[in-house]
Amino acid sequence: MKGRVICAVIAALLPGIGSLGAVPSAEARVSLEKCTLCHGKPEFRKILVDGKIRDLFVTADTLKGSVHEKKTCVDCHFDISEIPHRERPRRIACTHCHYKGNAEGAPQSDAYLAYFDSVHGKAIAKGNSKAPLCQDCHGNHNILKAKNPEAAVARTKVAETCGRCHIEIYAQYKTSIHGVALGKGIVEAPSCTGCHGEHKIYGHEDPKSTVYATHVADQCSKCHASVSVMGKFGIETEQVATYKESFHGVASQFGSRTVANCASCHGTHDIRPAEDPLSSVNPKNVPKTCGKCHPGANPNFAVGKMHIDAKKKEAGIVYYVASFFKYLTIGTMLALIAHIFLDMYGRTRRLRGEK
């Protein structure tokens, strides 16, 4: 009696177990055919209330070439169950698959977790519908690996991607020395993500940010202190060391946010070489740039080198002042210490009873 019941249960379950492997692929094909019924028509689009046109044209080739080539519509648009859709389909949640330990074959990385803490992730959490989700930067159907130069997040393309929202900054960046260099195909030049980070982008007033006032010098020096990078373009690397020795650099290291960092003088997105008349460190503009913090800086002030190293002869008079004090200190201290030791020697002699 008991055995029969178990057999019956197993018999009832068998078809279900068999269908687990076979059904999804069949269903996927079905779903694609069903979707392209409407979405396959080139004129299939929606006019939004603000007059914008949302193109809804999708074919079987849309995902071709992207990293999701083998996926089908409902793998991501899994909330769609009815045709025509009664409700507006929701935005895609990439984390449905992209988490560490997933069984879908998505990259095993939790780098995306940083996004939720970032300025963009927080804006989303606050309900800002304009803040970007994954697909706003990485693309919708045409997602490519970041290493692929065609990807929206590729090094040469990412500025354009960010610029879709940050238009003014993109315009500044594009004409800056970094933007121009990257445009010429110099891959060492930083794009947006080079300074701001990728997923962990924070507002510049957030202490976690790589462009927080006290972190700017470190961020710039990642490239500018490296002889192997700067050597290729004939740019000096001692700027970093001379800044760190100056009062600005020291106070910044101790956490002062009011002193000048690299960006205070050289600009942020609009960094240009000093020879450029539009540059904030062009001798003509130096009084104005210094005047931001030190009101009344005169044109005279711009004469001479800004980043000086007192230990080198190029520093001119400062070098000689430093040398004077160096030898004065050594000489004086040697004489004084010699006097002290002679005194102690004499005392020892007298203690021993020698005359």
Partner 1 sequence: MRVDEKREPLQEIIEKEIEAALAEETAHLDPEKAAELREKIRRRVREEMEREIRLRTAAERREEERRRREERRREKRHEEGEMFQRFNRNFRFQHIVMFTSVILLIITGMPIKFPNFILSRFVVAMWGGIGNSTIVHRIGAGMLIYFMVHHLFYTILSRDGRRDFMLLIPMPKDVRDAARNIRYFLGRTTEKPRFGRFSYIEKFDYWAVYWGCVIMIGSGALLWGESIALKFFPKFVLDIAHEAHSDEALLATLAIVIWHFYNVHFNPDRFPGTLMWWHGQISEHEMKDHHPLEYEEIMAKRAKQEAAEVINR
Interface segment toward partner 1; rule CB under 8 A; list 132-140, 194-202, 219-227, 300-308 = 300-308
Binding to partner 1 by residue 19, rule CB under 8 A? no
From the list 91, 164, 208, 326, which residue makes contact with partner 1 (rule: CB under 8 A)?
Answer: 326
Q: How far is the CB of 314 from partner 1 (least distance, A)?
A: 12
Is 325 among the residues that bind partner 1 (CB under 8 A)?
Answer: yes
Query: Does 284 interact with partner 1 (rule: CB under 8 A)?
Result: no
Tell me, letter by letter, the H, E, C secondary structure of the chain.
Answer: CHHHHHHHHHHHHHHHHHHHHHHHHHHHHHHHHHHHHHHCCCCCEEECCCCCEEECCCCCCCCCCCCCCCCCHHHHCCCCCCCCCCCCCCCCCHHHCCCCCCCCCCCCCCCCHHHHHCHHHHHHHCCCCCCCCHHHHHCCCCCCCCCCCCCCCCCCCHHHHHHCCCHHHHHHHHHCHHHHHHHCCCCCCCCHHHHHCCCCCCCCCCCCCCCCCCCHHHHHHHHHCCHHHHHHHCCCCHHHHHHHHCHHHHHHHCCCCCCCCHHHHHCCCCCCCCCCCCCCCCCCCHHHHHHCCCCCCCHHHHCCCCCCCCCCHHHCHHHHHHHHHHHHHHHHHHHHHHHHHHHHHHHHHHHHCCC
Counting contacts by CB under 8 A, is residue 313 touching partner 1?
no
Interacting stretch for partner 1, rule CB under 8 A, among 24-32, 47-55, 84-92, 297-305? 297-305
Does residue 317 belong to the site contacting partner 1 (CB under 8 A)?
yes
Residues in region 331-350 near partner 1 by CB under 8 A: 332-333, 336-337, 339-340, 342-343, 345-347, 349
Task: Please identify, among the stretches 39-47, 76-84, 187-195, 241-249, the one whose residues bind partner 1 according to the rule CB under 8 A.
Answer: 241-249
Residues in touch with partner 1 (CB under 8 A): 244, 246-247, 250-251, 253-256, 258, 290, 294-298, 300-304, 306, 308, 310, 315-318, 321-322, 325-326, 328-329, 332-333, 336-337, 339-340, 342-343, 345-347, 349, 354-355
